[in-house]
Structure 1
Amino acid sequence: MLSFRSELESPLVAKEIIDLERKIRAFREGKIHDEKFRSLRLARGIYGQRQPGVQMVRIKIPFGKITFKQILKIADVSDEYASKNLHFTTRQDIQIHYVSLDRTPELWAKLAEDDVTIREACGNTVRNVTASCTAGIDPAEPFDVAPYAQGFFKYFLGNPVSMELGRKFKFGFSASEEDTALSFINDIGFIPKVKYENGEEIRGFKVLLGGSLGAQPYIGQQVTDFMHEDLIIPFSEAVLRVFDRYGERTNRNKARLKFLLNKVGFEEFLRLVEEERLSTKVKTYKIDRTVIDTPNIPAPVKSTAEIPTNKQLAYEIWAATNTFEQKQAGFYGVYVKVKTGDMSTSTARKFVAGVQHLIADEMRVTINQGLLLKYVRKEALPELFLVLDELGLSEPGYNSVADVTTCPGTDTCNLGISNSMELSRVLESVVYEEYADFVYNKEIKIKISGCMNSCGQHGVAHIGFHGSSMKVNGRIMPTVQVLLGGGAVGDGEGRAADKVIKVPSKRAPHVLRAVLDDYSLKADSYKSFLDYYDTLGKDYFYQLLKPIADQDTVTDDDYVDWGQNEEFVRAIGVGECAGVVIDLVATLIFETEEKYGWALEAYDQKLWADAIYHGYNTLISGAKAVLLDKGISQSTQIGVIKSFDEGFAAEFDVNGFEEMVLQINKHEPSEQFAEAYLAQARDFLEKVKNYRNQPVLGS
């Protein structure tokens, strides 16, 4: 049995960790169906790896904010439970790999000692809330968006509205109109705006809805150019409620918000959102702007560090490409480029030991898999460079052509088709060795994914690659789909990249050379890379790259993927990220009882809105169990409601099941309504159990 230190963030955390241990034990004993258990562990940040018998654990780092103590704790946990490595992700999380399932409760308990969680880091939940890493120190920001990102993290973590969605849901906050958090690829994206009325500053946000990558990128649409800061959480909760009720739940390829928007129409969706406003927990929500404290700023240091002559040029390039002046006078932000997002635990410890007297004790994980260090004094920059250089962390060109974003690909992911990690290292080497001037180019972004799902964000890259394969001469060859012309335009506008041509993976460096060579010759004639691409057109680039794709010139080496010695074998597993749940009837009834129990707990705590939503889920889950027992499948909650109402309401003596369930958005979340609604949920649950007329699993 687990034991817990008093420093755990709350009794709720301890309860959830014990519950995870209990459910793992039940799964091992065959009492929980495999598919159901998969959804349970995913919602707790535990993701099955490509390698059998081990898990990836995703650690949720809200908007990438992390302290020395926290990163050292994660390093300790990775040493004890994982592979002694930290992987920084494009959603500002940290992942550790090769973890035994049975040890995950203990791992979670240790992380919680330092206020770190894995809860809802995977699965059909609200994922990590991202924000521009520069938030709070960005010279261009109207105000600091970090408190708003933190507010969203706290409001929706463990919120019954977002615990069991039809698919994952993502929020993103950009610091300024530069849109460095790529607001347009989030389900809801925010860009800060300021108005003035009678000389008073009014804060708000431009709001974008429905953004997503995946195999079919969708650029978020504008809801409004200014939503008052106190309204963004109520609006977001209403969106989640509509998405929960009407979103697809069977075909995961059609289950993101973008598909629901296409199905019902943008204006109709917003009408449903407005209809839901009455039932939200809050009608306005004031974000605590003071929740993000100014970190402890390092004292002035009389550094004796001098840059050696043989390092002087490297230092100058690093300072020009990896540092910037903060809006706080006299301080610099410093980017650390972390190759493929991987940092060994031993390096992490040496890093903290070497920099902690030079930087503030609050770093940010960046969306392109690096770190941002804050409040560095100008006179401390040489010493900081030497510390980073000693650790191999001083590569210049952060966020430039030389800074390639990549997902883990076939290293650990079930869905990976090709080795994206090694390809990214190869492409970065090409830039450093052959195109040194491009380390100063921060417009062009190169992004790689191991498959079409765009975890490496290739769908919005200026130059993108995703792993694929094809049969050539009777043999399977690893290939990459080349994409061009994507990227952020600014102020919430973005572009999805065009699929141009597919080439053997080993020839991806030739693609990069061809594009950079051609652009270098023509750049003076165009305002930007995107102008260059648009003016010449997709077919121009197809013809430019066509010789590289020529199958008549393939060699044996083209059949071997990057980082491998053997001929390529296309072997992918079943994706788990927000996977579909296949419920057995008995398991589903047990789950219905559990949800009703949560409703009672929330009611006892006077959390009326939470109690009502748990009651709503009790009704949906119970009806779904009956339909499943009858061999009827519905892919949305609204479909479950209507199907049960039409076919079984009379049999269960429930007059107007649809009307009863949908009371949820016709009433304020009051004590009186919560009491009445939960009574109806209790009566319905008893009828479902009596109908089944068999022992309920877990009773």
Structure 2
Amino acid sequence: MNTTEQYKQNKHPLDVIDDVYEYAEDGLTFEQIEDRAGDGEWERLKWAGMYAQKQEGYFMIRTKVPGGKLTPEQAEVIGECAQEYAVAPEEYGGEEQNELWGDAYVDITTRQDIQKHWIRVEDVPEMWERYDEVGLTTVQGCGDSARNVLGCPAAGLDDHECFNAQPVIDAVSEYFTGNREYANLPRKFKLTITGCKHDCAQSQINDIGLVPAKKELDGESLYGFHARVGGGLSDGPRMASELDVFIEPEDAIEFCRAVAQTFKELGDRNNRGVCRMRYLVEQMGHETFEEAIRDRCTIDLPSAGDGLTEGYRGDHVGVHDQKQDGLTYVGFNVIAGRMGGDEFAEAARAAKKYGTEDASVRLATDQNFLISHIPEENVDDLLAEPFAQEYQPDPGPFSRGAVGCTGNEFCNYAIIETKKRTKRWARELDDRIDVPDDIEAIRMHMSGCSASCAQPQIADIGFRGETVKLDDEDGSDIVEGMDFGLGGSLGTDNEFLDWIESAVPADAVIPALEQLFEAYNADREDGEAFYAWCRRIDNARLRTIMQGADAPVARGVAHGD
């Protein structure tokens, strides 16, 4: 049994929520928290949605948003709480802590969560009280349990869906949140549920992915779900396997419970490096894993019907007609997912001002957000709002597809800075590189380490942070750099990218990309996406193209190698 499992045996991780109230009331420092509860408390605090920042005394706190769907009231509270509590101390720069965003900002994540930084434990109970008033929670935003349940951010809005799966998302999320029986799994447990044909919720890289299907049962044609299991990224990426099951919407909770039970009983609790569910599915084989689920399921699961997934979209930036007459939803581009808490609150107020009573704010897995139920005649006024000037729905292709993790600004695992770099690079690349007019987005994902929080393996261009030793005639320098990958995507032609060049100094990346896109534009076949071109071209040739840049693309080595 690994150390984390011992921590969870010593005290059920959900009990930490009561502890937070005590720590806040007593005004405990980090040192005093550890003296009282031991160093295992830092692990258990994740079940409260709290991660200790690298700056001692402060937390990152994660708000779960099932399916990414927020009411304007909920979104406004999130923004206001960021303004009030996510405030950097003067010793770390105060309002100028970050040169691009200041402080008091929110981060939209690839799991449709909201993260806030600089949170003090004494402020958490008051934040939770404000959250309770509007139906928000941070419980199990982190930890070895069911995380936020993903969904299509345009659920109920767009005609590319077979049916609206948001009620199923809400029901599954409610079942697992606070459920002590399934709050101590071998590792994190990621679910996605969608009725969307375009798999916007990324079923191929989640532990469970429920996608739309149709089947004839007892003479009646029914909509429901097919299931994919065992997907994931990080150091051991795996595309999910299809099971031979059909799940009616009312049975989705029981199916997900049976999968969680299987993982709980059979998952590895010894080697934390290989205890995600994808390793269990790979070890058992998906057919044997399916048998184990059926053995633990209290309902009979029919065999699969007709799958209705047509591909992968994952992008909702722009002004789009809703299936409701006269209404639109507007997708705003938030490069790297970070925006001011005041701006997020302004967006929420704009949703109320210009939208119908059904207006909502939706978070997307590409770190952007939508405002729904805007009458056509109000769109121009919405886009004229001050917050919208920075997040316009018609960005360049690199800005549109840019995703960045937290990076070494706050994260204890990250090797490089990511948020500022992602935003600056995206805008510089939009200025410097010509992309074919029919390509709306170039997915450029930057992770500060190998944990894949920015999902680099599924991007056109993926980066994984490295510390690089760069040798030249003047000696050696240690600089920030990254492994450089090309050719990833989800969908019917899904593949993880290939890591083409390792330990590329950060300053050499943009020149290398210029060389690649010059070759792509010259050699592209009709309608060929950038990731498809990267797959068609031999990796050695891609490497040669990159090394043609007037920059030290291949002169670095990972520091420590």
TM-score by length of 2: 0.83
Q: Deviations over 1:144-167 (max 9, x none)?
A: 111111111011112233201111
Question: Kindly tell me: are residues 552 and 526 of structure 1, through their superposed partners in 2, closer, same or farther at Cα, counting changes over 3 Å?
Answer: closer
Matched, 1:415 2:435: no
SS at match of 1:494: coil
Counterpart residue type for residue 543 of structure 1: T
Q: How far did 1:195 drift?
A: 3.4
Q: Deviations over 1:485-523 (max 9, x none)?
A: 111124xx6321111102111222123222222222222
Matched, 1:148 2:168: yes
SS at match of 1:34: coil
Matched, 1:33 2:64: no
My pick for the range that moved more, 448-457 or 398-407, is 398-407
SS at match of 2:162: coil
Q: How far did 1:198 drift?
A: 7.7
Aligned to 2:335: 339
Counterpart residue type for residue 30 of structure 1: D
Question: Kindly tell me: are residues 395 and 325 of structure 1, through their superposed partners in 2, closer, same or farther at Cα, counting changes over 3 Å?
Answer: closer
Q: Deviations over 1:213-237 (max 9, x none)?
A: 1122110010136333333322221
1:79 alignment partner, one of 42, 64, 83: 83
Aligned to 2:362: 364
What is the rounded CA distance, in whole Å, between the counterparts of 1:227 and 1:537 in structure 2? 42
Counterpart residue type for residue 180 of structure 2: P
Q: How far did 1:39 drift?
A: 2.6
Aligned to 2:241: 221
Contact 1:402 1:438 in 2 (8 A): no
Contact 2:60 2:115 in 1 (8 A): yes
Aligned to 2:481: 479
Counterpart residue type for residue 63 of structure 1: G
What is the rounded CA distance, in whole Å, between the counterparts of 1:232 and 1:133 in structure 2? 19
Q: How far did 1:471 drift?
A: 2.2
Matched, 1:497 2:519: no
What is the rounded CA distance, in whole Å, between the counterparts of 1:397 and 1:201 in structure 2? 42
Equivalence map 1:175-214=2 (5 Å):
175-196=195-216, 200-214=220-234
Q: Deviations over 1:246-302 (max 9, x none)?
A: 212233221101111222332332222222225xxx779xxxxxxxxxxxxxxxxxx
Question: Kindly tell me: are residues 245 and 498 of structure 1, through their superposed partners in 2, closer, same or farther at Cα, counting changes over 3 Å?
Answer: same
Q: How far did 1:437 drift?
A: 5.1
Q: How far did 1:357 drift?
A: 2.2
Counterpart residue type for residue 336 of structure 1: F
Aligned to 1:277: 297
SS at match of 2:213: strand
1:433 alignment partner, one of 413, 431, 434: 431
Contact 1:410 1:419 in 2 (8 A): yes
What is the rounded CA distance, in whole Å, between the counterparts of 1:536 and 1:212 in structure 2? 26
Contact 1:208 1:224 in 2 (8 A): no
What is the rounded CA distance, in whole Å, between the counterparts of 1:217 and 1:371 in structure 2? 27
Contact 1:193 1:205 in 2 (8 A): yes
Matched, 1:322 2:342: no
Question: Kindly tell me: are residues 549 and 153 of structure 1, through their superposed partners in 2, closer, same or farther at Cα, counting changes over 3 Å?
Answer: farther
Q: Percent identity among equivalent residues?
A: 25
SS at match of 2:244: strand
Q: How far did 1:65 drift?
A: 1.0
Contact 2:106 2:339 in 1 (8 A): yes
Structure 1, unmatched stretches of 5+, are 1-13, 285-319, 560-567, 571-699
Contact 2:203 2:209 in 1 (8 A): yes
Equivalence map 1:15-94=2 (5 Å):
17-22=17-22, 28=33, 30-35=35-40, 37-83=41-87, 84-94=104-114
Question: Kindly tell me: are residues 530 and 348 of structure 1, through their superposed partners in 2, closer, same or farther at Cα, counting changes over 3 Å?
Answer: closer
Q: How far did 1:395 drift?
A: 5.3
Matched, 1:524 2:525: yes
Q: How far did 1:339 drift?
A: 2.6
Q: How far did 1:15 drift?
A: 9.6
Aligned to 2:346: 350
What is the rounded CA distance, in whole Å, between the counterparts of 1:261 and 1:161 in structure 2? 22
My pick for the range that moved more, 533-542 or 159-168, is 533-542
Counterpart residue type for residue 70 of structure 1: Q
Q: How far did 1:550 drift?
A: 6.8
Root mean square deviation, CA, Å: 3.0
What is the rounded CA distance, in whole Å, between the counterparts of 1:524 and 1:59 in structure 2? 44
2:450 alignment partner, one of 431, 434, 452: 452
Aligned to 1:246: 266
More helix by share: 1
Counterpart residue type for residue 21 of structure 1: Y
What is the rounded CA distance, in whole Å, between the counterparts of 1:499 and 1:147 in structure 2? 39
Counterpart residue type for residue 519 of structure 2: D
Contact 1:321 1:440 in 2 (8 A): no
TM-score by length of 1: 0.67
Q: How far did 1:569 drift?
A: 10
Q: How far did 1:438 drift?
A: 5.5
Aligned to 2:540: 539
What is the rounded CA distance, in whole Å, between the counterparts of 1:53 and 1:399 in structure 2? 39
Equivalence map 1:539-618=2 (5 Å):
539-548=540-549, 551=552
Flag the structure with larger Rg.
1
Question: Kindly tell me: are residues 161 and 546 of structure 1, through their superposed partners in 2, closer, same or farther at Cα, counting changes over 3 Å?
Answer: farther
Question: Kindly tell me: are residues 99 and 382 of structure 1, through their superposed partners in 2, closer, same or farther at Cα, counting changes over 3 Å?
Answer: same
2:376 alignment partner, one of 378, 381, 384: 378
Question: Kindly tell me: are residues 198 and 274 of structure 1, through their superposed partners in 2, closer, same or farther at Cα, counting changes over 3 Å?
Answer: closer
- Size of the aligned set, in residue pairs, is 505
Contact 2:513 2:546 in 1 (8 A): no
Counterpart residue type for residue 501 of structure 1: E
Q: How far did 1:50 drift?
A: 1.9
Structure 2, unmatched stretches of 5+, are 1-13, 88-103, 302-315
Counterpart residue type for residue 422 of structure 1: K
What is the rounded CA distance, in whole Å, between the counterparts of 1:252 and 1:548 in structure 2? 41
What is the rounded CA distance, in whole Å, between the counterparts of 2:489 and 2:531 in structure 1? 8
Counterpart residue type for residue 33 of structure 1: G
Contact 2:192 2:208 in 1 (8 A): yes
What is the rounded CA distance, in whole Å, between the counterparts of 1:68 and 1:253 in structure 2? 40
What is the rounded CA distance, in whole Å, between the counterparts of 1:34 and 1:197 in structure 2? 54
Contact 1:192 1:203 in 2 (8 A): yes
Question: Kindly tell me: are residues 442 and 253 of structure 1, through their superposed partners in 2, closer, same or farther at Cα, counting changes over 3 Å?
Answer: farther
Question: Kindly tell me: are residues 480 and 283 of structure 1, through their superposed partners in 2, closer, same or farther at Cα, counting changes over 3 Å?
Answer: same
Contact 1:397 1:440 in 2 (8 A): no
What is the rounded CA distance, in whole Å, between the counterparts of 2:291 and 2:433 in structure 1? 52
Aligned to 1:299: none
Contact 2:445 2:461 in 1 (8 A): yes
Contact 1:156 1:162 in 2 (8 A): yes
Question: Kindly tell me: are residues 434 and 333 of structure 1, through their superposed partners in 2, closer, same or farther at Cα, counting changes over 3 Å?
Answer: same
Counterpart residue type for residue 483 of structure 2: Q
What is the rounded CA distance, in whole Å, between the counterparts of 1:157 and 1:217 in structure 2? 27
Q: Deviations over 1:40-64 (max 9, x none)?
A: 2111101011222210000111111
Q: Deviations over 1:555-596 (max 9, x none)?
A: xxx99xxxxxxxx999xxxxxxxxxxxxxxxxxxxxxxxxxx
Contact 1:410 1:420 in 2 (8 A): yes
Q: How far did 1:533 drift?
A: 2.3
SS at match of 1:131: coil
My pick for the range that moved more, 400-409 or 50-59, is 400-409
Q: Deviations over 1:319-367 (max 9, x none)?
A: x961111122222121011232122122233333444321243110111
SS at match of 1:375: strand
SS at match of 1:30: helix
Q: How far did 1:388 drift?
A: 5.2
